[in-house]
């Protein structure tokens, strides 16, 4: 029987210009941005999404899903993977932390707000947003 404490929970998540998960550690550059200034559109960009999920140490494998795209887009990029609590490092109080980092190359076509939805199973657990702005100054 699944109890609320045995369900995986998103501890934190962020967007980054670069992120890597290795062992029980995250490395990130340009983390937690909400604005992306570009010199021209369309442009290619490598978006990274990273975070940590807490799950029961003896929990079952569960799906992590991401949906990425313009906020008003009818179609978005969909990614899915499975995470296994048995692969967690350093259990504590019957729980493990599972870190993740995903890099997605994408073409940004227009200015405006973009959305990244994070789902554990079929439950939306977080939406992250960033705005794309075309500028004549420095990117960043």
CATH number at residue 110: 2.60.40.2550
Q: Is residue 127, in this structure, part of any structural domain at all?
A: yes
Tell me how far apart the alpha carbons of residues 27 and 37 are, in angstroms, rounded to a whole number. 23
Q: Domain limits at 72?
A: 4-134
Q: What is the pLDDT of residue 74?
A: 82
Q: Give the number of domains in the chain.
A: 1
Q: Is residue 112, in this structure, part of any structural domain at all?
A: yes
Q: Is the Cα dihedral 86, 87, 93, 97 positive or negative?
A: negative
- Residue 73 — pLDDT band, cuts 50, 70, 90? confident
The side-by-side arrangement of strands in the sheet containing 9-16 is 9-16, 43-56, 95-108, 89-92
Q: Is the pLDDT of residue 2 over 70?
A: no
Tell me the Ramachandran region of residue 38: left when phi exceeds 0, alpha when psi lies from -120 to 50, beta otherwise.
beta
Q: Is residue 139, in this structure, part of any structural domain at all?
A: no
pLDDT above 70 covers a percentage of the chain that reads 94
Q: Is residue 22, in this structure, part of any structural domain at all?
A: yes
Report pTM.
Answer: 0.90
């Amino acid at each position: 029987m699944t109890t609320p404490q045995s369900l995986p929970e998103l501890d934190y998540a962020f967007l980054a210009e670069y992120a890597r998960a290795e062992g029980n550690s995250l490395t990130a550059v340009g983390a937690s941005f909400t604005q992306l200034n570009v010199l021209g559109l369309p442009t290619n960009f490598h978006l990274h999404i990273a975070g940590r999920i807490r799950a029961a140490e003896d929990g079952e494998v569960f799906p992590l899903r991401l949906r990425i795209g313009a906020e008003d887009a009818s179609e978005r990029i969909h990614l899915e993977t499975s995470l296994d609590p048995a692969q967690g490092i350093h259990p504590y109080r019957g729980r493990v932390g599972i870190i993740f980092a995903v890099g997605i190359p994408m073409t940004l076509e227009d200015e405006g707000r973009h959305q990244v939805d994070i789902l554990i199973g079929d439950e939306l657990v977080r939406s992250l947003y960033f705005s794309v702005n075309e500028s004549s100054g420095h990117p960043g």
